[in-house]
Chain A
Amino acid sequence: MAQIDWRIRRLGQGVFTVLAVLTLSFVMIRLMPGNPMGAMVENLRSQGINPVRARELVRIRMGTDPTKPLVPAYFEYMINFFQGELGYSTFYQMPVATKLAQVMPWTLFVLSWGVFISFFTGMAMGALMAYWEGGKLDVGFTTFAVLMGSIPFYVLAILLLVFTSYRWGWFPTGGKVRAGLEPGMNYAYISSMVRHATLPILSYLVASGIASLGMRGNSIRVLGEDYLRVARLRGLSDVTISTQYVARNAVLPLYTTLLISIGEMFGGSVVLEQVFQYRGLGFAFYQALNQRDYAMMMGGFALITIVTVVALLIADMTYGYIDPRARGGKDESY
């Protein structure tokens, strides 16, 4: 057991998680109280479609045959999934895979900027806070971070929307891009895209105040080290010390925290995109949920899971490059 490279084991865990989620979604579709598939067949039959045709339609929509025995149906479902056949979305009137491919880039666009910016602001703030430990700035930032940790990101999003969009008119009140613009690499389109994405990004960003708290705790421990005293004696500037000496050591927990939080951000995008009417992955998932569009719902859920698993895998795999001490091949890497 211990002989196997931990990377392979970790990869296996990721694959196992995805399989578990797919199994879960299959079980939900087939066995849940309310029997979504049975309800679907009944619904179609009541519309005057004959039972054989109704079952055929359901098979196309859900990617699995409601009359097949459980085990073959399960394997069929799994095989279909890995061939990219996620069923047919009744709400969007198109294959689930096509819809997901349409909305995914928008969500990734907002999320990646959110992660990117909050990583660097969190790092800089945390390093400064730790460096001026106990000073006014530190107390202020700590209070700020506690406050930001207690404000749910969607509450913040609603407030931002009420004030900056509806009251002051700085930003559009919803949507991904202004209607009627020609998509492409032209200035009008890109700038509209950025304007629409600003508030969602800001919501992710401010919500990461808690990350700088974690940073603070770690930096303080680093600050005790002798080499920092030497750096100070050498007359290096505060900025150099806090970025080159403190931040490099304190960035480690921040890095994993952030990659782990990508999964939670995807979850959060369901709420956030609803607030901003930003038609990305989360929005589509929520619509599917509301409309009882089971194929779309499970497809979206599976996609979110896969992205989360991949993010966590990257976090684990790359940690060794950031922290040379972790290259020993330990089982617990974070």
Chain B
Amino acid sequence: MSPTDESADEADATTDLKAAMTDGDTAMTDGGTDETMTDGGTVDSPFEVVSEYEETRMDRYSKYYDAYVRAPFAIIWRDWRARIGFSIVLFYLLMGTVGTSIVEPAGTLDGDSFIQPFNSQYTIQPWGIPEFSLGFWTYTGIWEFPLGTDRMGRDLFAQTVHATPSILKMITAGALFAVGTGTVIGAVAGYRGGWTDTVLSSITDVFINLPGFPLVMVLALLLDVQNPYLIGILLSVAAWGGVARAIRSQVLTLRQENFVESGRAMGIPRRRIVFKDIVPHLMPYVVINMTNTARRVIFEAAALYYLGVLPFRDLNWGVTLNLAQSGGAYYRPDALHWFLVPMFAIIGISIGLILLGQSLDRVFNPRVRARHEKTTVDEEADMGGDEPSTGDMITGK
């Protein structure tokens, strides 16, 4: 095709467009528009047309508030799973922040060995409240060792509380690292395609194929890390591959969408398109993966401490399991609670995370959202119906 033909084409397209714009009819969306926009023509762009309705700042803020604060909370509060999950996670957060300053750290020989949980023979009277009687019930103080003690007389409740901060740090670091890396790599690979995709996908595949847990064990042994944040990152080092693949396949479908294509046509930088237009659409995946990774980090951390692979100075749930095992909790009937307390701590937080993940999925589900953004009273419509959730599609991984 010669240059003159090209300019003739352009002129045709321009007149097409002008006609479309002045007529104001639906012809605007046909092929002519696209060609003009991508070849860098100098015509008036329909994208520069300004809305005839004016939006005040208040309007915008109230819209943001509705979309990002009220609707999510309304949705979360409607769902029993969300309420429970949210409360559990909040409880652990409080335990890790406020709890550690209220509860004294556990020390050796604080009490006798193997005091059973909820034993009323050992009580304390905090804040100097003396004994009193309400007729039917007499207050004699609260349990000194609510969850019992281990073989060295250390309070298991205090152990559990004081292990929480480091576990929470591991979870946060691990989940942010795995999901952050996975999202960035998956989104870039999916959007750019070509050689970038080939290289990034190959790296991703290698990490997916790696057996995560043995790798983490080997690395933990060789690197000798102590910092909880680093341990969290180490534990999720093999976890980002799955996230990256899920995100990539989502981006592959999104990159063909109209809004992405128009962004490209407008010459918006690639980075902005990927991270401002595409990634927000993937938030359900991101959030669910985050809770799943968090759960995985806890499981693996506790397992590594239980096996004694990670070095430790302070007691935590996994270390307690390890000590219980070597202390004979298998066959000593009076030591069973030594196993049970850290187990319940681990199981509790993962139930909270699963429920929270499942319900956050609903927050991002556009159908549920729309219902709550328009009105918050549309109660019945949401009751029985179980929307097909993204969580079901990527369960477990």
Contacts and interface: CB of A to CB of B under 8 A. Distances in A.
Interface of A: 1, 13-14, 16-17, 20-21, 25, 28, 32-34, 36, 133-134, 146-147, 149-152, 154-155, 158-159, 161-162, 166-167, 173, 210-211, 213-214, 216-218, 220-221, 253, 257, 260-261, 263-264, 266-268, 270-271, 274, 285-286, 289-290, 297-298, 300-301, 304-305, 308-309, 312, 332
Nearest to A257: B396
Nearest to A298: B218
Given A20-B206, A286-B217, 10 more contacts: A33-B223, A151-B350, A217-B391, A264-B213, A266-B211, A267-B211, A270-B213, A271-B303, A271-B306, A289-B218
Interface of B: 198, 202, 205-206, 208-215, 217-218, 221-224, 249, 252, 295, 299, 302-303, 306-309, 321, 325, 329-331, 333, 336, 339, 343, 346-347, 350-351, 353-355, 384, 386, 388-389, 391-393, 395-397
Given A33-B222, A146-B351, A220 B388 contact: yes
Contacts of A213: 392, 395-396
Contact of B211 (A155, A211, A263): A263
16 contacts: A21-B210, A25-B218, A32-B222, A36-B222, A147-B351, A149-B350, A150-B350, A150-B354, A162-B339, A217-B389, A217-B393, A253-B393, A264-B212, A266-B211, A289-B221, A298-B218
B354 A214 contact: no
A319 B303 CA distance: 33
B202 A13 contact: yes
B343 A155 contact: yes
Given A162-B330, A220-B388, A267-B211, A150 B295 contact: yes
Nearest to B392: A217
Given A28-B222, A166-B330, A216-B392, A312 B209 contact: yes
A173 B325 CA distance: 13
A263 B209 contact: yes
A253 to B, nearest CB: 8
A300 B322 CA distance: 24
B355 A146 contact: yes
A16 B303 CA distance: 29
Contacts of A300: 214
Nearest to B344: A155
Contacts of A34: 222, 224
A210 B358 CA distance: 13
Nearest to A161: B330
Contacts of A159: 339, 343
Given A150-B351, A162-B336, A289-B217, A257 B397 contact: yes
Contact of B384 (A134, A154, A210): A134
A263 B208 CA distance: 10
Given A155-B347, A220-B388, A267 B212 contact: yes
Contacts of A312: 208-209
Nearest to A208: B396
SS class, residues of chain A in contact with chain B: helix
Contacts of B331: 166
Contacts of A309: 209
B392 A17 contact: no
B181 to A, nearest CB: 17
Contacts of A274: 307
B196 to A, nearest CB: 13
A251 to B, nearest CB: 15
Nearest to B358: A146
A285 B217 CA distance: 10
Contacts of A298: 218
Contacts of A285: 214, 217
B384 A150 contact: no
A133 B303 CA distance: 36
Given A264-B212, A270-B217, A13 B205 contact: yes
B309 A289 contact: yes
Nearest to B215: A301
B221 A14 contact: no
Nearest to B298: A152
B320 to A, nearest CB: 12
Contacts of B214: 266-267, 270, 285, 300-301, 304
B351 A305 contact: no
A20 B204 CA distance: 12
Given A155-B347, A270-B213, A304-B211, A214 B307 contact: no
B309 A260 contact: no
A211 B299 CA distance: 18
Contact of B346 (A155, A210, A260): A155
A309 B208 CA distance: 9
Which 5 residue pairs of A and B lie closest in terms of their CB atoms, listed nearest first?
Answer: A217-B392, A267-B213, A150-B350, A214-B395, A17-B209
Contacts of B388: 217, 220-221
Contacts of B206: 13, 16-17, 20
A33 B219 CA distance: 11
A266 B343 CA distance: 23
Contacts of A146: 351, 354-355
Nearest to B304: A271
A134 B385 CA distance: 9
Given A210-B395, A217-B391, A267-B213, A149 B354 contact: yes
Contacts of A150: 295, 347, 350-351, 353-354
B109 to A, nearest CB: 26
A216 B212 CA distance: 27
A282 B386 CA distance: 41
A200 B209 CA distance: 24
A13 B295 CA distance: 29
A33 B213 CA distance: 21
Nearest to B351: A150
A151 B275 CA distance: 36
> B206, B393, B395 — which one has the most chain A CB atoms within 10 A of its CB?
B395
A305 B391 CA distance: 28
A1 B198 contact: yes
Contacts of B205: 13, 17
